[in-house]
């Protein structure tokens, strides 16, 4: 285990112990799930357990690429619009403030299997598994959790920590408790401090809210079924089923990289061709190097000491197994991609043949399309829950006018082909179904004013009697 992983584990243990002391709670997440999430976190961070300097086993960190590509497709051209009232305007502002983080947060969710978003009073907090403890669930939905948040003052000498516990009590009243600590180190949770003397001033120590059906936090988790702990409310990292193949990919890559490194052409040249007779044996190596530099010979020439009558000379030209290894690597990429949810051939080192149309992509990548739709559904549900939590939080702290709101979501088409779309719209123009100025604005970057002026100018230049066929 790496030093960073050990430190994170230490912080998690301290956090868990302090939460148990303060609120008499226990995590309901099984040790098997904790172990898997930790393992996948290290793999995603580029520190998999199979790294071996002695055996030259490195990593290409393909787990990161999988999570990144999943998040890219899932958040492609995402749009979130909240309408309806003054409250809706405030909610839209909160979503706009985190819009730029959605792709990154989604990637983390794919890497860890589960992340939580929650109102903080100043915006939205993003919480990774190391910083929360699940305490209650209803079916596969997380209903209670404790969160840890850390801040450092401007001097860098005071470390503030807040443990925030959310749960429904026996009477179905929603309760939030905040406990704050200050210390000289990040893991110092011994000294309790009033919340008004911390960066979270303005929040209440204890809050009770009636008539809530859902927690004041939102959970994003991957769509994969949990086969590690079927009763767990936690999601699985998207690559968790392909850990062995990711290991094999790194080994295959490392073997190929070492082979390339060792493939340098070498010429073995007898010392008597370069070193004068009578040169002391202990000085022959240095003299050979000197002669090679003076004569401008390449460093592929190595000095050897022949023991026969004839001078020794041999060239070594290693043969690379690149094609064979590439076949193996692509087979592993195929298997990894399929296990993660992508279509066969989505991840390969050699590109797909030709330019694919949207129809071809849709027919060949149905598995990818369905997987991304499932991820988007989970993301949309998370955002819906986040907006509901923000709405309730605004009521609690009187942050905006009351009022109704309506949310609409829009996601980009992952089968979209720009050139195909451009040709289709130009056909609309030539058919007289769409004005030419609209095409110029949509595809050529013209402003509406300039496009209309250009179209009118072209019409004025048409000869008299011209009729469009």
**Total length of the chain:** 469
Residue 380 lies in a domain: yes
Calculate the alpha carbon distances from 212 to 48, 102, 119, 124, 392 in Å.
42, 26, 15, 19, 8
- Spatial distance between the Cα atoms of 105 and 249, rounded to a whole number of angstroms: 26
In a domain, 433, yes or no: yes
> 179 and 205 in one domain?
yes
Residues 132 and 188 grouped into a single domain = yes
Nearest to 246 by CA among 37, 44, 2: 44
For 175, list phi and psi in degrees, rounded to 5.
-120, 140
Task: Provide the pLDDT for residue 116.
Answer: 98
Give the containing element (helix H, strand E) for 141. strand 141-152
- The CA-atom distances, in angstroms, between 119 and each of 152, 382, 388, 394, 404 are 20, 13, 10, 9, 19
Composition of the chain by helix, strand, coil, percent to 5: 45, 20, 35
Q: Both 197 and 292 in a single domain?
A: no
| The pLDDT value given to residue 21 | 86
Question: How far is residue 399's CA from residue 403's CA, in Å, rounded to a whole number?
Answer: 12
Cβ(220)–Cβ(105) below 8 Å:
yes
Q: Find the angle CA(240)-CA(242)-CA(245) to the nearest 5 degrees.
A: 145
Residue 46 forms part of a structural domain: yes
Same domain, 159 and 23: yes
User: pLDDT tens, position by position, for the chain (469 residues)?
Assistant: 554 454 455 456 677 788 888 898 999 999 999 999 999 999 999 999 999 999 999 999 999 999 999 999 999 989 999 999 999 999 999 999 999 999 999 999 999 999 999 998 888 999 999 999 999 999 999 999 999 999 998 888 899 999 999 999 999 999 999 999 998 887 778 789 999 999 999 999 999 999 999 999 999 999 999 999 999 999 999 999 999 999 999 999 998 888 877 777 666 665 555 555 455 545 555 656 666 665 555 555 565 555 555 555 566 666 677 788 888 999 999 999 999 999 988 888 765 544 344 444 455 688 999 999 999 999 999 999 999 999 999 999 999 999 999 999 988 887 766 777 888 888 998 998 989 999 998 888 888 888 888 888 877 766 555 454 4
Strand pairing category for 191-193 and 159-168: unpaired
* pLDDT given at position 302: 61
DSSP character string of 41-70:
HHHHTT--TT-BTTTTB----HHHHHHHHH
Report the C-alpha gap between 201 and 397 in whole angstroms.
Answer: 12
- State residue 261's pLDDT score: 76
Cβ-count burial of 199 within 10 angstroms (0-12 exposed, 13-18 middle, 19+ buried)? middle
Q: Is residue 134 one of the residues assigned to a domain?
A: yes
SS3 (DSSP) at 439: helix
Kindly compute the dihedral angle of the four CA atoms of residues 288, 293, 296, 299, in this order, to the nearest 10 degrees.
70
Domain span holding position 430: 418-460
Supply the DSSP string of 65-117, one letter for each residue: HHHHHHHHHHTTT-EEEEESSHHHHHHHHHHHHHGGGHHHHHHHHHHHSEEEE
Q: Are residues 139 and 287 in the same domain?
A: no
Do both 403 and 444 map to the same domain?
A: no
* Backbone angles phi and psi of 163, in degrees to 5: -105, 125
Rounded to a whole number of angstroms, the distance between the first and last alpha carbons of the chain is 74
Whether 206 is in a domain gets the answer: yes
Residues 104, 9: one domain?
A: yes
Query: Can you give the pLDDT at residue 422?
Result: 85
pLDDT value for 132: 95
In the DSSP assignment, the letter for residue 461 is: T
178/290 same-domain check? no
Q: Cα(360)–Cα(356) distance, rounded to whole angstroms?
A: 6
Is residue 193 domain-resident?
A: yes
> H-helix or E-strand containing 396?
helix 366-397
Give the pLDDT score at 14. Answer: 73
In this structure, is the dihedral angle defined by the CA atoms of residues 430, 432, 436 and 438, taken in order, positive or negative? negative
User: What is the residue whose two structure tokens read 């860098």?
Assistant: 156
Rg for the chain, CA atoms, rounded: 32
Residues 163 and 66 in one domain: yes
Same domain, 170 and 23: yes
Cα separation, 378 vs 117, in Å, equals 13
- Whether residue 164 lies inside any domain: the answer is yes
Q: What is the pLDDT of residue 358?
A: 44
- Whether 337 maps to a domain, the answer reads no
Looking at residue 357, its pLDDT comes to 43
Q: Are 77 and 109 in contact (CB under 8 A)?
A: no
Structure confidence at residue 54 (pLDDT): 92
Q: Could you tell me which of 40, 44, 65, 43 has the C-alpha nearest to residue 349?
A: 65
Count of the separate structural domains present in the chain: 3
The answer to whether residues 128 and 10 belong to one domain is: yes
- Could you tell me if 198 and 106 lie in one domain? yes
Query: Which residues have a Cβ under 8 Å from the Cβ of 429 and sit 6 or more positions away?
Result: 435, 436, 438, 439
pLDDT of residue 189: 80
HSE, CB side, 13 Å, CA atoms: give it for residue 206: 4
What are the tokens at 74? 């899932």
């Amino acid at each position: 285990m790496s030093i960073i992983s050990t430190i994170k584990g230490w912080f998690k243990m301290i956090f868990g112990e302090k939460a148990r002391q303060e609120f008499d709670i226990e995590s309901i997440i099984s040790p098997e799930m904790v172990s898997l999430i930790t393992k996948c976190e290290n793999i995603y961070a580029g520190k998999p357990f199979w790294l071996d300097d002695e055996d030259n086993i490195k990593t290409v960190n393909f787990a990161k690429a999988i999570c990144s590509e999943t998040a890219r497709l899932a958040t492609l051209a995402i749009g979130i619009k909240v309408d309806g009232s003054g409250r809706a305007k405030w909610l839209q502002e909160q979503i706009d403030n985190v819009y730029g983080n959605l792709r990154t947060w989604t990637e983390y969710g794919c890497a860890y299997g589960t992340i939580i978003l929650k109102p903080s009073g100043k915006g939205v907090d993003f919480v990774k598994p190391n910083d929360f403890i699940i305490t209650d669930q209803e079916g596969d939905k997380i209903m209670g959790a404790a969160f840890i948040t850390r801040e450092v003052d401007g001097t860098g000498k005071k470390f503030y920590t807040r443990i925030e516990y959310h749960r429904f009590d026996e009477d179905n009243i929603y309760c939030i408790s905040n406990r704050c600590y200050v210390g000289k180190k990040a893991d110092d949770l011994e000294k309790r401090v009033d919340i008004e003397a911390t960066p979270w001033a303005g929040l209440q120590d204890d809050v009770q809210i009636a008539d809530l059906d859902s927690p004041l936090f939102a959970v994003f988790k991957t769509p994969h079924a949990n086969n590690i702990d079927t009763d767990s409310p936690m999601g699985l990292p998207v690559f968790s089923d392909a850990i062995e193949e990711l290991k094999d990919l790194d080994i295959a890559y490392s073997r190929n990289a070492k082979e390339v490194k060792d493939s340098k052409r070498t010429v073995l040249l007898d010392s008597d061709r370069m070193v004068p007779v009578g040169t002391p044996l202990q000085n022959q190596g240095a003299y050979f190097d000197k002669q090679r530099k003076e004569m401008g010979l390449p460093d592929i020439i190595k000095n050897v000491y022949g023991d026969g009558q004839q001078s020794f000379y041999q060239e070594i030209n290693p043969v690379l197994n690149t094609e064979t290894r590439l076949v193996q690597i692509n087979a592993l990429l195929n298997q990894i991609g399929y296990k993660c949810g992508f279509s066969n051939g989505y991840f390969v080192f050699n590109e797909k043949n030709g330019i694919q149309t949207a129809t071809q992509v849709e027919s060949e990548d149905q598995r990818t399309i369905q997987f991304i739709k499932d991820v988007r559904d989970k993301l949309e549900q998370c955002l819906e829950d986040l907006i509901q939590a923000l709405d309730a939080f605004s009521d609690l702290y009187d942050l905006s006018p009351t009022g109704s709101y309506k949310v609409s979501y829009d996601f980009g088409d992952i089968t979209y082909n720009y050139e195909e779309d451009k040709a289709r719209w130009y056909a609309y123009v030539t058919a007289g179904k769409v004005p030419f100025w609209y095409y110029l604005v949509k595809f050529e970057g013209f402003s509406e004013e300039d496009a209309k002026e250009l179209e009118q100018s072209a019409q004025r230049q048409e000869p008299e009697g011209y009729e469009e066929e």
